[in-house]
Amino acid sequence: MATIDEILEVERLEKNIFRGIATETTLSRTFGGQVAGQALVAAVRTVDPQFAVHSLHGYFLRPGNTTMPIVYLVDRIRDGRSFVTRRVSAVQDGQAIFTMSASFQVSESGIEHHDAMPVVPPPDNLPFARDSDDPEIARLAREWSDWDIRMVGDGEVDRRRGMAAQQQVWFRSRKTLPDDPVFHVCALAYMSDMTLIGSAMTPHKDVQINGASLDHALWFQRPFRADEWLLYDQTSPSAGFGRAVAQGRIFDRGGNLVAAVVQEGLTRFLREE
């Protein structure tokens, strides 16, 4: 499997045109986090370093072909004094498979607050995902072998009253990543698609579905490192009509809320052939 360094090392073909590698995978279509992470790298390469990415909003339009590289076309929508906006289209075989808007901001001061981190067992007290009896969790560990993934057990999830579906996951890169903060932001964009829509399935464990990411939004709140433990607190407030909404809050081990995520995914019943 390709490392996160290889995945995020997109090649510049022209001023606003980039190409990301195809990676070995057990998935039938390109992992959505790979497309989002590479698209964000392409956008970052067109922005002055004084602007830091603070949000992205993406739509998955078509399944990606895992055997083909992806070309990223960047549109420089706006260059302002405080904010910069980029639009990125990911293309394979002449068709857009993903489109994303990314917003960047200079460092500024304002009010501050954040939610408290859920009370869950520390990652060191949880089993490796690869040792799980759940075949889906074990598959995650094999596919993302460069990442240490620890699922919080059903009986240890910090449950909040009125929540329809919850799931909590610790994760981090197994190896030390470059110090560049932008790399960690793009790595989190990659990993934020991992396990999130699975939170919608926690009340439906025996149901077989055809699942896929439909759209994805991510807001970066505070600095973090993706090679240090991050807690992904996930909920699914609603599912219906073959789709589910999932929300995520990502905390560092110190309890700081570093990112927020919202995703809608396909969750329709698996069709019989």
Whether the CB-CB separation of 56 and 185 falls below 8 Å is answered with no
Q: Give catalytic status of residue 28 as yes or no.
A: no
Most distant CA pair in the chain, distance: 56
Residue partners of 213: CB distance under 8 A and separation at least 6: 32, 60, 193, 197, 263, 265, 266
The residue annotated as part of the active site, out of 167, 213, 234, 236, is 213
The residue annotated as part of the active site, out of 167, 192, 236, 263, is 263
Torsion of CA 253, 247, 33, 212, to 10 degrees: 140
Q: Give catalytic status of residue 134 as yes or no.
A: no
The residue annotated as part of the active site, out of 148, 193, 227, 252, is 193
The label of the residue with tokens 């329809």 reads: 164
Residues in the chain: 273
Q: Give catalytic status of residue 221 as yes or no.
A: no
DSSP string spanning 187-230?
A: HHHHHTTSSTGGGGGTT-TT--EEEEEEEEEEEE-S---TTS-E
Point out the residues that are catalytic.
Answer: 193, 213, 263
